[in-house]
Chains A and B, each alone.
Chain A
Amino acid sequence: MPTILMGIAGLFCVSALSPILIRSRAATQIVYGACLAISLALCAAAVPLIRQAPSQIVLPLGLPWFAAHFRLDALACAFLAIVNLGAASASLYALGYGRHEAEPGRVLPFYAAFLAAMNLVVVADDAYSFLLAWELMSLTSWALVMARHRERKTAYAGLVYLIMASLGTFALLFAFGLMAGAHGEYAFDTMRAHHLSPALAGLALALAVVGAGSKAGLVPLHVWLPLAHPAAPSHVSALMSGVMTKVAIYAFIRICFDLMGPASWWWSLPALILGGATAAIGVLYALMETDIKRVLAYSTIENVGIVFIAAGLALAFKAGGHFDAAALALTAALFHCLNHMLFKSTLFFGAGAVIVATGEQDMERLGGLIRRMPLSSAAFLAACMAISALPPFNGFASEWLLLQSILVSPQLAQMGLKLLVPAIGVLLALAAAFAAACFIRAFGATYLGRARAQASAQAVETDRWSLAAMLVCAALCLLAGVLPGFVIDWFEPAVMALVAGRMPPQTGIAWLSIVPVSASRSSYNGLLLFGFVAACAGLAAFAVHRFASRAVRTAPFWDCGYPRLGVRAQYSATSLAQPIRRVFASVVFASREEVEMPAPGSAQPAVLRRFLRDPAWDFIYAPLVRAVGATAKLLNRVQFLTIRSYLSLVFTTLVVLLTVLALWG
C-alpha cells in the first residue's frame, strides 16, 4: 500500500515539476520517461499484491474532521494493473510521439496529474477522496483535451465534455450520499455495512449508472466521448479510451458489487439493457464515421457496452445465488477491460502515427500506408483482429467467456431475465460482427489500396519509441489471447472477493486450455489453434513453393478488364459502409441518400448526399437543451426585480427552508 501511494505521489511531483522543466529541450523526454518508470513500477507492484489481504491506510489529508482513507484490495489491484499498464505504454509511445506536440507545456503537467488521479480513484476508500480524485481525473483530462484549443472543434468538444463530466460527478455525489445514509459517514467501510431499502437502492443504482456510465460512454450518455477522445493528442486519446473508461467501469463495479451490499436481481437490468444497446449502437456509429480517431472512440463505446453486459450478467447470477456463474461473467468483464485497454491503445497509437506521418485523419484521404509504414500497420492489423474478437487474439478469449456465461444463464429464475438475456446475446453477436466490419473498413481504408492523397503517398514509418509501444501492445494482445488461463487465474482473487465464487483453476489444465465450467461443456485452446493455423499455413506455403510453382510475375491489376481506373475509383471508407448503412442505419439513424442528377446535356456533376440523424442527440439532448434555454429565459425575469422583491424572495426562501427542516427533523 505505501508503495502505491508513493508512486502516486511521485506522479504528482512529476506533474508539479514539469512547468519548471518546460523550458529545457529535454522536458518531454524527462516527463514521459519518469511517467513510464513510475507506471511500470506501480504495475509491477500491483500484480503480486492481488493475492494479499486488503490493506488500509488513513492519511490526515482533505477535510479537517475527516481523514482520507485508502484501501488496496484485490479489485483495486486488478484495476491498478490495467491502469498502469495502459499508462506505461502511452508514456512509452509519447517518448517519441510527444516530440511532435506544438505546445508541450499544455500537455505535460496535466498528463502526469491525470495518471496520478486515475490511480487515486482506484485506491480511494471514502466518498470524499474518491470524488476528489474523480473530479481531478475529469479536469486534467479536460485540460488535455483542450491542449489544442485553437482548433474550433476542440473548444466545442471541451465544453460538452465539461458539462457531461460535471453531470457524472454530480450523480455520483448523490449516489454516495444515499449509500452513506442520514449520518453522512463517507468512509466506504460504513457504506458496506449500511444496507439500503429497495427504493433507495434503485435510486442509488440509477445515479451510479448515470455517474459511471456517463464517464464510460454508455448510450445515451455517450455524446461527449466521440468528441472529446479524438480531440486530445493521440497518446492521451489512448489513455482516455483505453484506461479512463476502465476507471469508470471500476466505479460501477465497486458500487454495485461491493458498496451496495447484497444484490437484487433487478440491479442487473440497467447494465444489461444499456450495455446491449451500447454495444450494438456504438459500433454502428463507428461504421458511419470517416475520421479514424472518431471511429476508434465509437468502438470504445461498443466495448464498454460489452463489459457492462458481462457485469450485468454477473450481478444477476450473484443475486440468484449462482456464484460460480457470476465468477465466470465477472472474469469476462475484467478480462475484457484488460483486453480493450491493450488493443485500443495500439489502435490509437497507430492512428497517431498515421496523423504524424500524413497530417490527415480523414480516412477518405488516406490509403496505401501498409507499404510506407509496414511495422506499425502490422501492429494495427493485429489489434484490428483482436478487437473484432477473432482467434487467436485476446478479444476472442474474453468474448468467448462472455458467450459461455450467457449459455449458463437459463438457470436464472426470473422470467424477465430469461427473455432478456437471449436478446442481449443477439445484440452482442451483432456487435461482434459489426466490429469486424468496422475494422476491415478502418484498416482497409487507412492502410490498404492506393493512396488517396499526396500526403499519404509520401508517408514515412513512425519513430522507434512509438513503434516499440505499438508492437509491445500488439504482442500482449496475442499473448493474452493464446495464454488466457494465466490472466483468468490472476483475476481470481478479485472475482472471489466480489461474488464469492470462482472459475475452475486454469493454469493446471493440460495444454493450457481454458475451461470455464467443465471440460465436457466447453473448452478453448488459443495456443493450439494458433499453432495449428501457423503450422498449416507454413506447411501449405512450403509444399506449394517446393512442389508446385514459385514463379511470380508482377502486372497491373486486372479488375475485370478496367486496369486504368484512377485512384478515386477505388472503394472509400464511406462506400465500404454503404450496404450496412442502407440495411441497418436506415432504421437506427434514419439514414437516407439523395441523388441530384444534372439536366440532360448539362456538364454539371451529379451530386449524392447522405443524411444521418443521431437519435441520442435528437431525442434526448436537443429537447434538454431547449428546456434549459426556456427555463433560463423564464428565470431571466428574476434579474430585473426591485430590491423589495429580492428581499421578499430571500425571506420566502428562508421560511420554506426552515419549514422543511422542521418537518424533516
Chain B
Amino acid sequence: MMSALAAQLGQTLLVLAIAPALTGIVRKMKARLQRRIGPSIFQPYRDLRRLFGKEAVIAEGTSWLFRAAPYLIFAATWVAAALVPTFQTGLVFSWAGDLIAIVALLGAARFIQAVAALDVGTSFGGIGVSREIMIASLAEPAMIMVVFTVALVAGSTQLSTIAAFMVDQQSLRVSLAMALVALIIVAVAENARIPVDNPSTHLEVTMVHEAMVLEYSGRHLAMIEWAASLKLLLYISMVVCIFFPFGLITGAGGLFAHALSLSVYLLKVIAAALLLATLETVIAKMRVFRVPNLLGIALMLGLLGTLLLFVSESM
C-alpha cells in the first residue's frame, strides 16, 4: 500500500516535471532538422518561469470562467496524466479512472478550454473553437474505438491491467496494429501537431489550438502551456504503455529495477519525441477541411479492429 502510494505520488510529480522537457526536445530536434541550432531543451522551463512571474492581462468583460479555466484545464490534464502508467503499473489510484475516464477527463479539459475561448467574444476565439469541435467530433470517436480494440484484446479497460497483459503478450495481432495507427493519428490531432495544427504558427487563419488561447497571458498562459506539454506526454506514455510496454515493472521490484525501468521509459519518450519531430519536419500542414479525411481513417481503423475482435470471438 505504502509503496503503491509512493509510486503514485512519484509518477504524478514525474510527469509534471518532465513534460516541459519533452516539448523542449521536440523543438530542439525540429530546429536541428531544419539546420538551426535551436534553443536549449530546458527553454520551456525558462518560458514557464518567465510567464509565471509576469502579471496576467485579463480581457475586458470576461467572466470568472476565463480566470478559472487555466487551473481547471491544468488539473484535469494532470490527473489524467497521473493515471497513465509510465514506468511501473502499481499505481494506487489506477482503479479510480480507466482508459475511458482518462479520455473523458481530457474531453472535459477541452470543453473548458473551448468555453473559456468563447468567453472573450472575439473572432479568433470563435474560429479556434469551431475547428476544435470539428476535429474533436472525429478524434474522440476514433479514440473510443481504439479503447474498444485494446480493451477487447486485454479484457479490461484498466490501463494497469492492459499494460500488465501486454507485457506478457507475445503474438502480434492485426487489430492491435490498426489500433496503433489510429491512436497515433488521434494523438497528433489531439495535441495540435502537424499535419492537423501547427503548434508554432503565427498565421492567424490557420490556427486551432493557438487561436483558442490567444487572449491568455502571464500565469494563465503558463498553466495552459504546461497542460499542453502534459497532454503530449500523456499520449506518448499511453502509446508506449499499451503497445511498447517492455521494461515496464508490473509487480514488485527493487530500487535497481525501478531505476532501470525509469531510464527505459525516458529513452522511449525521447525516441517518441524524435519521431514526432521528424514527422513534423517531413510533412506539411493539411488544410482544415482535409483533416476529417485523416481522422476518418483513424475512426475506420478503430472500427475495423473492433469488428475483427467481435467476429473472431466466435471462432
Q: Assess the A579–B63 pair: CB atoms within 8 A.
A: no
What's the Cα separation between A430 and B119 when bound, in Å? 26
- Asked if A540 is an interface residue, CB under 8 A from chain B, the answer is yes
A389-433 residues with Cβ-Cβ distance < 8 A to B are 389-391, 396, 400, 403-404, 406-407, 409-411, 413, 415, 418-419, 421-423, 425-426, 429-430, 432-433
Residues of B in contact, count (CB < 8 Å): 87
Interface centre among B65, B108, B152, B307 (most CB of A within 10 A): B108
Task: Give chain A residues whose Cβ lies under 8 Å from the Cβ of B98.
Answer: 522-524
- Asked if A557 is an interface residue, CB under 8 A from chain B, the answer is yes
- Provide the A653-665 mask, 1 if CB < 8 A to any CB of B, else 0: 0000000000000
What's the Cα separation between A377 and B280 when bound, in Å? 41
Cβ 8 A contact of A404, one of B97, B104, B157: B157
Q: Assess the B313–A548 pair: CB atoms within 8 A.
A: no
Task: Give chain A residues whose Cβ lies under 8 Å from the Cβ of B79.
Answer: 529, 532-533, 536
- Asked if A134 is an interface residue, CB under 8 A from chain B, the answer is no
- Chain B nearest CB, measured from A477 CB (Å): 14
Are A559 and B97 also in contact (CB < 8 A) when A429-B144, A549-B56 are? no
Specify the main secondary structure of chain A where it touches its partner.
helix
Cβ 8 A contact of B121, one of A450, A523, A535, A541: A450
Task: Give chain A residues whose Cβ lies under 8 Å from the Cβ of B101.
Answer: 391, 396, 400, 524, 529
Q: Assess the B78–A536 pair: CB atoms within 8 A.
A: yes
Q: Assess the B125–A571 pair: CB atoms within 8 A.
A: yes
What's the Cα separation between A440 and B140 when bound, in Å? 15
- Asked if B133 is an interface residue, CB under 8 A from chain A, the answer is yes
- Provide the B83-119 mask, 1 if CB < 8 A to any CB of A, else 0: 0000000000101111011001101101100110011
Task: Give chain B residues whose Cβ lies under 8 Å from the Cβ of A436.
Answer: 107, 110-111, 133, 136-137, 140
Q: Assess the B54–A549 pair: CB atoms within 8 A.
A: yes
Task: Give chain A residues whose Cβ lies under 8 Å from the Cβ of B104.
Answer: 389-391, 396, 400
- Asked if B268 is an interface residue, CB under 8 A from chain A, the answer is no
- Asked if B247 is an interface residue, CB under 8 A from chain A, the answer is no
- Chain B nearest CB, measured from A608 CB (Å): 15
Q: Assess the A443–B96 pair: CB atoms within 8 A.
A: no
- Chain B nearest CB, measured from A24 CB (Å): 41
What's the Cα separation between A173 and B56 when bound, in Å? 66
- Asked if B179 is an interface residue, CB under 8 A from chain A, the answer is no
What's the Cα separation between A529 and B103 when bound, in Å? 13
Are A529 and B97 also in contact (CB < 8 A) when A540-B223, A571-B130 are? yes
Are A429 and B126 also in contact (CB < 8 A) when A418-B311, A440-B111, A521-B155 are? no
Are A537 and B74 also in contact (CB < 8 A) when A391-B104, A522-B156, A575-B126 are? yes
Interface locus among A27-35, A223-231, A488-496, A562-570: A562-570
Cβ 8 A contact of B96, one of A422, A520, A529, A570: A529
What's the Cα separation between A576 and B55 when bound, in Å? 31
Q: Assess the B122–A525 pair: CB atoms within 8 A.
A: no
- Asked if A58 is an interface residue, CB under 8 A from chain B, the answer is no
Closest to B48 in A: A548
Cβ 8 A contact of B215, one of A404, A558, A578: A558
Number of interchain pairs (Cβ within 8 Å): 291
Interface centre among B104, B107, B288 (most CB of A within 10 A): B104
Are A403 and B303 also in contact (CB < 8 A) when A440-B111, A528-B96 are? no
- Asked if A186 is an interface residue, CB under 8 A from chain B, the answer is no
Given contacts A449-B120, A529-B96, A571-B126, 20 further A-B contacts (CB under 8 A): A390-B108, A422-B306, A422-B310, A425-B145, A429-B145, A433-B138, A434-B137, A436-B133, A521-B156, A522-B156, A524-B98, A525-B95, A537-B68, A553-B56, A554-B60, A556-B59, A557-B122, A559-B120, A560-B124, A579-B289
Interface residues of A (CB under 8 A from B): 367-368, 370-371, 374, 381, 385, 388-391, 396, 400, 403-404, 406-407, 409-411, 413, 415, 418-419, 421-423, 425-426, 429-430, 432-434, 436-437, 440-441, 443-445, 448-450, 511, 513, 519-525, 528-529, 532-538, 540-541, 544, 548-549, 551-560, 562, 565, 567, 569-572, 575-580, 582-584
Interface pairs A-B: 4 shortest CB-CB: A571-B126, A449-B121, A551-B55, A444-B118
19 contacts between A and B (CB under 8 A): A381-B65, A389-B107, A404-B157, A410-B309, A411-B313, A421-B310, A429-B141, A429-B144, A432-B141, A437-B133, A448-B119, A525-B97, A544-B71, A555-B59, A560-B124, A565-B122, A567-B121, A571-B126, A580-B133
